Amino acid sequence: MSRLRALVELVALVVAGGLVAVIPSAPASAAACAAPWQASAVYWGGDQASHNGRNYQAKWWTQNETPPGTTGVWQDLGTCGGGSTPPPTGGCNHPNWVAGTWYSVGAIVRYTNGLYYIAEHDNPGYDPVISTWYWEPYTCSGQPPTTPPTNPGSFVVSEAQFNQMFPGRNSFYTYSGLVAALSAYPAFTRTGSSTVQRQEAAAFLANVHHETGGLVHIVEQNQANYPHYCDPGQPYGCPAGQAAYYGRGPIQLSWNFNYNAAGNALNLPLLTNPWLVQNDAAVAWKTAIWYWMTQNGPGTMTPHNAMVNGAGFGETIRSINGSIECNGGNPAQVQSRVTKYQQFVGILGVSAGANLYC
């Protein structure tokens, strides 16, 4: 067709009010982004996560390997857009900060106060308004998102208060690891009034302080006890070895049956890999919260129920080590826990309540 003929036909279409423009078909939109990858999260084969504007799928169990990784565990599914982690764009379209998520230098986030911060140093999701060495305020242009920022990992104890409670803690026990573990049991420190929530947090952390010498010890110090924590009568035995189930973490998880039960509840391979509890802060905190929320121990109720139902701090001691300490068994140890609890509720600005002893 000549150019003249094409022009005539185009004019005819315009005159007839039927201008037809041939527009190239738009490229297919990118898939929605999966949930953001988190260093503390456990991913099983088939699980998906997004990172830096791309979706990835785990080929087998993995944790703490940033996609795309170096071991081949992550399959790159391509660019993603939409969902919770859109690829970087201009203006103020930056993602909401999520506690426990790894942020590299240069990452920009929107904090819960609606303001923006840029990572000055790599960090595992530290709070931008508390960990100011890692974050700097950031000014961006454009219209900010209308969706209010959220903080799904919010905790009634701030990082500053946590540091005040544990001034000499081992660097393994990170605040970000604790916050990341909260998702395992959403009712933990979120049940009842604000006073009850803070009392429960203080009770949990007071017992943790006692069990670990102020969050100093990651593993049980008396290695002579290590072979004693294997109950061969369990049908699953002790696949990690007879001496592998010693006390670890904030509440010193021990025995093969406890590692098995905690692993099943948390979807973690703790029976075959109990060392996860001493190598990953979030896993360590999760096992402590698991015990607090689900186990009666030598008591008659879980420590969580003791605090939210008004039984008092003394019953948390009974549920953790009551067979040895309560009813006059070791009053000095009980007093140590009570004293720390009273100190911690003071830091959080609430009363200690009744029934402090067991």
Q: What is the bridge-based pairing of β-strands 74-83 and 31-33?
A: parallel
Q: Residue 291 and residue 295: Cα distance in Å, rounded?
A: 5
Q: How far is CA 114 from CA 93, 117, 144, in A?
A: 12, 10, 9
Q: Residue 181 and residue 285: Cα distance in Å, rounded?
A: 6
Paired tokens of 158:
């701030």
Q: Give yes or no for a contact between 307 and 199, defined as CB atoms under 8 angstroms apart.
A: yes
DSSP codes joined into one string, 267-309: T--TTT-TTHHHH-HHHHHHHHHHHHHH--TTSSS-HHHHHHT
Q: How far apart are the first and last CA of the chain?
A: 97
Query: Pick from 23, 22, 47: which is nearest to 35 by CA?
Result: 47
- Detail the DSSP E strand segments found in 17-107: 31-33, 42-43, 48-51, 54-58, 62-63, 74-83
Tokens 């879980």 correspond to what residue? 302
Calculate the dihedral angle through the C-alpha atoms of 249, 165, 357, 350, rounding to the nearest 10 degrees. Answer: -130
Q: Residue 324 and residue 6: Cα distance in Å, rounded?
A: 96
Q: Give yes or no for a contact between 39 and 64, defined as CB atoms under 8 angstroms apart.
A: yes
Q: Give yes or no for a contact between 355 and 311, defined as CB atoms under 8 angstroms apart.
A: yes
Q: Residue 320 and residue 327: Cα distance in Å, rounded?
A: 14
Q: How far is CA 321 from CA 110, 273, 286, 297, 342, in A?
A: 43, 25, 19, 8, 19
Catalytic (active site) residue 220 = no
**Catalytic annotation, pick one of 200, 211, 315, 325:** 211
Q: Residue 140 and residue 122: Cα distance in Å, rounded?
A: 21
Residues designated catalytic: 211
